[in-house]
């Protein structure tokens, strides 16, 4: 069966099923469509399926035209009906893996997807998990129910782990050009996994096991989390010393070896960096290991919104105003610049903390017209359109996300006070405060 499946993939006759049509699943679906594969997209959200059926990807940076063409050509189908799993040759899971309120892994989307998939599986299919998770998930969570359903993994079913590495709206790195790490449950699974991704990715990087592949993604994001925590902590030190941390980082980045620049901000955002390291922390406890470095980095990063709030309080005090009753405009709701992705964005934390202090708070984000429904937040606001009059009407402007579409000169000229955790402005003006 292995050779039959590999041959089907190589001839592009395989149908690719993608479960979870979000920031990872949609670009992956598009990549397979570009290479001539048929794709079936699965999601439990009927609104997403309805929009995709009309050729509306609902993610800002994804071009709707290829999906509309594929729908008209019947090479792409979006559905909530998991019975259609039997028609695909590859099943790729791109579902969320959040933390629960106790900072423990929440694999309910993975296990729920498995419950929907397994009753409709058939022999000669490959299942690939792309969701970021702790080492051991594929072997401990994915493998047993597939085996219990009567399949012999490596013979009539194939199981792999290949971590997603999407960077939304990054023009320099795309799904095609970012190397793809793949680990298989067996050598046969590994062969199928390589074939599955070699057709759409420029470079496939095989590793010895699914556990190694899972650890790769955790290492990548823990590396970023720890280094961001370092510069966040140094930002506080530099602030006390009267130094501009952004000037220091820019100068340090001129060293052509031995240094990688990371930049501080108002807190961590995105689905990866604030979450993934704690998957490893949780799993390490099973082995009697306390990951102090990761925990400390998490403490530093999650404390940054409070540092920013303290800066706002102090800056308003300098002009004899209190936070209570002040009109504060937060620039940017997305977790990073030039995207519409608000997952784990620190902007929501900042908005809630300012509201709790009695501030009259609004936000402006050209990529996020209204606050979406969030699991952990209940803010309902609409984006404010920026004009000189609007900007000047606020007591304080907080730069939470440094989108290129903001008119930074206009904002500086008309703002009464600017709190800048992103380093947009030179901190050499009375009304500009680093945070």
Distance CA 238, CA 249 (A): 11
CA distance 370 to 166: 24
Alpha carbon dihedral 138, 147, 84, 107, in 10-degree steps, equals: -30
244 phi, psi to nearest 5 deg = -95, 110
CB 401 within 8 A of CB 332: yes
Tokens 């530099």 label which residue?
Answer: 238
Q: C-alpha distances in angstroms, 374 versus 27, 153, 279, 343, 344?
A: 23, 38, 21, 8, 9
Q: How many CB atoms lie within 10 A of CB 59?
A: 18
Distance between the two ends of the chain, CA-based, in angstroms?
59
SS3 433: strand
Which residue, among 344, 343, 345, 386, has the nearest Cα to 363 in the 3D structure?
386
What is the CA 427 to chain-centroid distance, rounded? Answer: 30
3-state SS assignment for residue 41: strand
Q: Which residues pair with 157 in a beta bridge?
A: 125, 153
Number of neighbours of residue 146 by Cβ within 10 angstroms: 21
From 227, 267, 226, 232, select the one nearest 246 (Cα to Cα): 232
Residue of 94, 189, 272, 396 marked catalytic? 272
Instruction: DSSP for 360-384, please give it.
Output: EEEEE-TT-SBPPP-SS-----BBP
Distance CA 330, CA 336 (A): 14
Residue with tokens 């999601």: 43
Q: How far apart are CA 84 and CA 198, in angstroms?
A: 25
- Has 94 been annotated as catalytic? no
Residues taking part in catalysis = 272
């Amino acid at each position: 069966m292995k050779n039959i499946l590999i041959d089907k993939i190589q001839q592009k006759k395989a149908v690719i099923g993608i479960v979870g049509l979000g920031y990872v699943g949609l670009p992956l679906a598009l990549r397979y469509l570009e290479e001539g594969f048929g794709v079936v997209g699965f999601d439990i959200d009927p609104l997403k399926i309805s929009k995709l059926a009309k050729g509306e990807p609902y993610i800002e940076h994804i071009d709707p035209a290829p999906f509309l063409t594929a729908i008209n050509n019947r090479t792409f189908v979006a559905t909530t009906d998991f019975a259609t799993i039997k028609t695909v040759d590859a099943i790729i899971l791109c579902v969320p893996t959040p933390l629960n309120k106790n900072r423990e892994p929440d694999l309910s989307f993975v296990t729920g997807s498995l419950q929907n998939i397994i009753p409709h599986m058939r022999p000669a299919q490959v299942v690939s998990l792309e969701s970021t998770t702790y080492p051991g998930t594929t072997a401990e969570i994915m493998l047993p129910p597939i085996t219990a359903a009567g399949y012999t993994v490596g013979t009539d079913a194939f199981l792999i782990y290949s971590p997603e590495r999407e960077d939304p709206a990054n023009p320099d790195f795309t799904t095609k050009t970012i190397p793809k790490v793949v680990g298989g449950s067996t050598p046969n699974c590994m062969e199928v996994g390589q074939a599955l991704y070699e057709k759409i990715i420029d470079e496939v990087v095989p590793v010895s096991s699914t556990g190694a592949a899972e650890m790769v993604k955790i290492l990548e994001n823990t590396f970023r989390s720890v280094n961001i925590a370092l510069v966040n902590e140094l930002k506080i030190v530099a602030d006390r010393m009267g130094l501009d941390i952004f000037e220091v980082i820019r100068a340090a980045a001129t060293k052509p070896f031995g240094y990688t620049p990371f930049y501080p901000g108002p807190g961590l955002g995105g689905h990866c960096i604030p979450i993934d390291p704690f998957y490893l922390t949780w799993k390490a406890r099973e082995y009697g290991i306390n990951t102090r470095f990761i925990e400390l980095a998490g403490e530093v990063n999650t404390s940054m919104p409070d540092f920013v709030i303290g800066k706002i309080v102090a800056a308003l005090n300098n002009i004899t105003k209190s936070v209570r009753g002040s009109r504060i405009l937060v620039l940017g709701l997305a977790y990073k610049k030039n995207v519409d992705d608000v997952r784990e964005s620190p902007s929501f934390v900042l908005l809630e903390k300012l509201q709790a202090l009695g501030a009259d708070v609004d936000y402006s984000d050209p990529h996020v017209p209204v606050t979406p429904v969030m699991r952990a937040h209940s803010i309902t606001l609409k984006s404010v359109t920026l004009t000189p009059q609007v900007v000047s009407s606020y007591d304080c402007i907080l730069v939470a996300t440094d989108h290129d579409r903001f008119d930074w000169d206009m904002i500086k000229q008309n703002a009464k006070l600017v709190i800048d955790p992103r380093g947009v402005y030179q901190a050499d003006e009375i009304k500009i405060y680093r945070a």
